[in-house]
Structure formats: structure tokens, C-alpha cells
Homo-oligomer: A and B are copies of this chain.
């Protein structure tokens, strides 16, 4: 089975590499810059000359940064018009609910299949093949994609027939992560204001009621002030909160915490933290208290 792959950033390369190591699929990979392509070719992948060639496959995965990049690379470029008949395009990217609807339509119009399969996990998790994948689309297309998704996932969560259902779940989960970061920041600054190191609070929390991977990871990053190098950059956090707000507005749902997070991200970037990991959002809680953290 030939598997196309479009987009070899930190996350995409990790996923592609896991597929390659599995040995079951022939991979045709494309990326805007050629470095990551060459690296994967050295490990056994084939280079696709353009996105259209990567879509000349049985199943093609894409992992790109945002709506307009996908629109340009896959649709405006004409690649989709040249795609292999019946190809299943599995989009791993975090996109807006509106764009998921649009992608579903433009694929259907061309007799192609679109599956939304956004993932939960940072680059190290992707490289370890332990992502959580939210998945939605036409049942036959999902069935075809499933073995591939399972190769690099800890678990695939089926969420129904409409692509956007997977996206809104992913968007909601990412919103919950951002809220957790801001909450850890505020709670940490709160105890710090009374002389208690945030790490002492986090130790209690993450070894009791909040003993989960997300809390352990992010409380650790914040306590250690380990904001660089970024696993997930600040502007991506802002983008994801924007997706939540847009999905909320489209569904008539006010999201006061998401609104607050949007301002916090804009503040973080305006304050010079744009290249840091989004866990550095916590710095704002200290800054607003006239103190500094990291």
C-alpha cells in the first residue's frame, strides 16, 4: 500500500518515521523545504516532487500548520485535482471546524475521501508512536485509514461520520490544555506570593487529584522554567484558542475562559515570549503580579 505524506515538520516527521519503521507501507513524502524530505529518503521513503505526487497514493496523510497553508498546498495548487481517484486524504492537522466542512466538500466534489484525524501529543510523543488520534469521516474511508493510524497511535478515537466532529473534539481538548497552563500559572503565582515554591504546589497536585500526563508535563515545564526550546510555540497556542473561539461562535457557545486565554496569548507574544513554548503563558501570571518567572 502506498501512503503519501505531506508536511514533515516536528510532528509530521515523527509520524512518518514511525510509519517507515513499521515497514508495512511504501511512503511518498513531500515537504516545502527539502531537508526533512532528504532525511526520510535516507531512511527508505520516496520523495514526491510536489503535493499532487504525494496524493497519487492509496492513502495520503497531511500534517500542516493551519487552514490557509493546507488550502494553498492541497487545493489552490491544483494538487487535489490531480489526486489519484478514490484516494483517502487523512488530515492530521488541527484545523477549524469551518475548514473541515469545506475540505469534506471539496473532496466529495472530486470523488475523493476526506478523513479528519487530528492528534493529541507533542513531538516526542509523535516520535514514540504514542499519539491519541481523534478520527471522523465516511466509514469506508475511516476503515481504510485505520490500520495506518493505529501504527503510530496509542489509541484512535472514532467520533462519527462528519469530519468536523473530530476537529471540534481536538480543539476542545487543546483549549482544555491551554486553560490548564493558565490555571497552573495563576495557582503557582498565588502560592509564590505567600512564599511557597510553585513546585511544592505542583508536587501535591500532580501526585493526587491531578495525576495525569498533561499536568505532570506542564507543571514540570513551568516549575523548571523550561520554556525553550519550544515543543509547541506560543503562536500555535494562540491559533488553537482562536479555533476554539471560532467554533464556539459558530455553535452559539460563549467561552469566557477561552476569551481570557486569547488575551493572555496576545500579551505573552507582545511581551516577547513568542518563540517560547506555550507553557510560558504561566509567566504572565507572575508578570501581572509585578514579579518574574524564568
Contact = CB atoms under 8 A, between A and B. Distances in A.
Interface of A: 97, 120-121, 132, 134, 154-155, 157, 159-160, 162, 164-165, 168-169, 171-173, 175-177, 179-180, 182-184, 186-196, 200-201, 203-205, 207-215, 244-245, 247-260, 262-264, 266-267, 269-272, 285, 288-291
Most buried by B among A214, A249, A256, A262: A256
24 contacts: A132-B207, A132-B208, A132-B209, A134-B204, A157-B200, A157-B203, A160-B196, A168-B191, A168-B194, A169-B200, A171-B190, A172-B187, A172-B201, A173-B201, A173-B205, A173-B209, A175-B187, A179-B257, A180-B183, A183-B257, A190-B251, A193-B251, A193-B252, A194-B250
Most buried by B among A173, A214, A248, A253: A253
In the complex this chain forms, how many copies of it are found? 4
Most buried by B among A171, A187, A204: A187
A188 to B, nearest CB: 8
A168 B183 contact: no
Contacts of A291: 270
A129 to B, nearest CB: 14
B97 A194 contact: yes
Contact of A289 (B134, B253, B258): B253
Given A209-B132, A249-B266, A266-B252, A176 B169 contact: no
Contacts of A173: 187, 201, 204-205, 208-209
A78 B201 CA distance: 35
Contact of A264 (B187, B205, B210, B254): B254
Contacts of A253: 186, 189-190, 192-193, 266, 270, 285, 288-289
A137 B107 CA distance: 44
